């Protein structure tokens, strides 16, 4: 049976993923679950307004949001430690945008400005930027320093998908 209505989107209260749900299934009383973490989705928060998927663009994190956005992420996180004055950091940004879009749902891409978030920069000993860290549950599992080609970054990320 084909759906005639536009898909409904519901944001997961646990992991923040935006899920597309068939509105006809909701009408039939079927309980939707998050595709990422399998948490029951609150159907009362369903919206038919299309939203961009949560991981389709890099997210900005701070010292204060690091634990919530990175350490508690159910997905591996590629963390870009950067500064606005750093030309190589700015040159890398479009590559990270592309990776976020292409790897949405598999990897979360996050950016942190080291000038404004020195606690996290010190934690990871960010002495050279751009610095890309692959983190799983907040723990560093890989590190790339300097501007890297998209294929190199994607290959390093692929090693940590499981």
pTM: 0.68
What CA–CA distance (Å, rounded) separates 42 from 97? 30
- State residue 100's pLDDT score: 93
| pLDDT single digits (tens) 10-46 | 878 887 777 778 888 778 888 888 888 888 888 776 6
Active-site choice (12, 15, 34, 89)? 89
* Domain 59-158 homologous superfamily, CATH: Glutaredoxin (3.40.30.10)
What CA–CA distance (Å, rounded) separates 162 from 59? 22
Going from N- to C-terminal start, the domains of the chain cover 8-45, 59-158
89 is catalytic: yes
16 sits in the region (left: phi over 0; alpha: psi -120 to 50; else beta) called left
86 is catalytic: yes
Q: Which residues of the chain register pLDDT less than 50? A: 1-4, 49-53
The domain defined by 8-45 folds into: SH3 type barrels. (2.30.30)
């Amino acid at each position: 049976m084909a759906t005639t209505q536009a898909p409904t989107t519901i944001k997961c209260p646990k992991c923040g993923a935006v899920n597309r749900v068939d509105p006809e299934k909701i009408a039939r009383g079927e309980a939707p679950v998050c595709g990422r973490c399998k948490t029951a989705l609150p159907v009362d928060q369903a919206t038919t307004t299309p939203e961009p998927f949560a991981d389709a663009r890099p997210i900005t994190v701070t010292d204060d949001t690091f634990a919530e956005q990175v350490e508690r992420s159910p997905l591996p996180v590629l963390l870009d430690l950067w500064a606005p004055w750093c030309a190589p950091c700015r040159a890398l940004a479009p590559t990270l945008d592309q990776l976020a879009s292409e790897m949405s749902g598999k990897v979360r891409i996050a950016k942190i400005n080291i000038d404004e978030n020195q606690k996290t920069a010190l934690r990871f000993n960010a002495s050279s930027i751009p610095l890309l860290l692959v983190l799983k549950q907040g723990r560093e599992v890989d590190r790339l320093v300097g501007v890297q080609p998209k294929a190199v970054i994607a290959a390093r990320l692929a090693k940590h998908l499981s």
